[in-house]
């Protein structure tokens, strides 16, 4: 790995690890029988939180379908590959929006602990390249979303090393585009609050310093919607945020202080 295995990012004591991922699929398991493009949103629990509003916004355009599937880290064995392949086979996507970061960080630490992927470049050749081949084998384009910076500086530095490899992969693969989640949820570095689409400041991060509050979910979904709309020639519904929010149950205290509650 360019950054994650370098001298400046030698793994040490792990920072705050993410809470167990919980999410639901955002559209039917049987693909719709029409010719509209399909978007597979796939990744870890941070992307999962933005996936519901993003899928809602994509569907609200009337020009595409969207579904989320949880894949906290990148495949490392045949069982992992089978799970990712099943999602691709089920959805037959035209575009895959993928993001992994802090669960992938834990998997990389596991690789080190088990004595695997220690040589320079092995993460790229044994994990990233095969995964890219898997995603693009059916002709789908990929929108790779770099992980958002988190509160814990040590873990954030290590994940930044992973992001360097993700960027390099996209630069070499014509079918893969890279965008940075920080563009929308951490434009000036990690912040607990940021202005929303309406200009009002809102809490964007949960108490664990990693995951997204509803306001952060909207910010990330809004940014990714623009990227998806550009690639699929969609026209976003200007009322999608209000419509999505109208269907959400308020969280305790506005954003649950304990992510696992």
Q: Are strands 38-43 and 95-99 parallel, antiparallel or unpaired?
A: parallel
Cα–Cα distance list, 210 to 46, 52, 89, 188, 252 (Å) = 8, 18, 31, 16, 18
Q: What percent of the chain has pLDDT over 70?
A: 85
Cα separation, 218 vs 212, in Å, equals 9
Count the neighbouring beta carbons within 10 Å of the beta carbon of residue 47.
Answer: 29
Taking all residues of the chain, what is their mean pLDDT, rounded to a whole number?
86
Query: What would the mean pLDDT of 82-107 be, rounded to a whole number?
Result: 94
Domain count, the chain: 1
Query: What would the mean pLDDT of 212-217 be, rounded to a whole number?
Result: 94
Cα–Cα distance list, 51 to 43, 45, 257 (Å) = 9, 9, 21
Asked if the structure places residue 61 within a domain, the reply is: yes
Query: What would the mean pLDDT of 73-77 be, rounded to a whole number?
Result: 93
Where in the sequence is the domain holding 102, given as residue range(s)? Answer: 36-235
Asked if the structure places residue 180 within a domain, the reply is: yes
pTM of the model as a whole? 0.85
Specify the pLDDT at position 119.
Answer: 83
* Per-residue confidence band for 94, with pLDDT thresholds at 50, 70 and 90: very high
Higher pLDDT, 115 or 129: 129
Specify the pLDDT at position 201.
Answer: 85
Asked if the structure places residue 144 within a domain, the reply is: yes
Task: Kindly tell me if the per-residue pLDDT of 90 is higher than 80.
Answer: yes
Asked if the structure places residue 251 within a domain, the reply is: no
Asked if the structure places residue 211 within a domain, the reply is: yes
pLDDT digit string, tens, across residues 13-64: 333 344 433 333 444 455 566 799 999 999 999 999 999 999 999 999 999 9
Asked if the structure places residue 69 within a domain, the reply is: yes
Specify the pLDDT at position 74.
Answer: 94
CA atoms in the 13 A half-sphere facing the CB of 161: 24
CATH code assigned at 117: 3.40.50.1110
Asked if the structure places residue 60 within a domain, the reply is: yes
Count the neighbouring beta carbons within 10 Å of the beta carbon of residue 249.
Answer: 4
* Per-residue confidence band for 12, with pLDDT thresholds at 50, 70 and 90: very low
Asked if the structure places residue 246 within a domain, the reply is: no
pLDDT digit string, tens, across residues 144-163: 999 999 999 999 999 999 99
Higher pLDDT, 201 or 87: 87
Residue 202 three-state SS: strand
Q: Can you name the residues that pair with 43 across neighbouring β-strands?
A: 70, 99
Cβ contact 172:194 at 8 Å: no
Q: Can you name the residues that pair with 176 across neighbouring β-strands?
A: 142
Specify the pLDDT at position 32.
Answer: 65
- Burial class of residue 247 in the structure, from the number of CB atoms within 10 Å of its CB (0-12 exposed, 13-18 middle, 19+ buried): exposed
Cα separation, 51 vs 160, in Å, equals 22
Specify the pLDDT at position 202.
Answer: 86
């Amino acid at each position: 790995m360019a950054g994650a295995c370098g001298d400046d990012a030698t793994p040490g004591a792990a920072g705050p690890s993410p809470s167990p991922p919980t999410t639901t699929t955002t559209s039917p398991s049987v693909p719709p029988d029409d010719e509209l493009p399909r978007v597979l949103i796939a990744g870890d629990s941070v992307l999962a939180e933005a996936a519901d509003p993003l899928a809602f916004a994509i569907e609200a355009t009337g020009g595409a379908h969207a579904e989320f599937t949880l894949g906290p880290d990148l495949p490392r064995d045949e069982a992992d590959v089978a799970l990712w392949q099943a999602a691709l086979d089920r959805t037959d996507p035209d575009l895959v929006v993928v993001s992994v970061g802090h669960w992938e960080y834990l998997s990389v630490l596991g690789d080190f602990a088990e004595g695997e992927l220690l040589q320079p470049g092995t993460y790229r050749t044994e994990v990233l390249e095969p995964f890219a081949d898997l995603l693009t084998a059916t002709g789908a384009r990929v929108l790779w979303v770099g992980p958002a910076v988190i509160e814990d500086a040590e873990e954030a530095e290590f994940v930044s090393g992973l992001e360097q490899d993700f960027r390099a992969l996209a630069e070499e693969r014509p079918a893969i585009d890279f965008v940075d989640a920080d563009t929308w949820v951490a434009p000036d570095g990690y912040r607990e609050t940021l202005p929303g689409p309406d200009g009002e400041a809102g809490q964007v991060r949960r108490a664990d310093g990693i995951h997204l509050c509803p306001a952060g979910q909207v910010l990330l979904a809004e940014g990714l919607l623009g990227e998806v709309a550009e690639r699929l020639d969609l026209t976003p519904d200007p009322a999608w945020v209000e419509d999505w929010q109208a269907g959400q149950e308020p969280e305790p205290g506005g954003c649950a202080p304990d992510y696992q509650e």
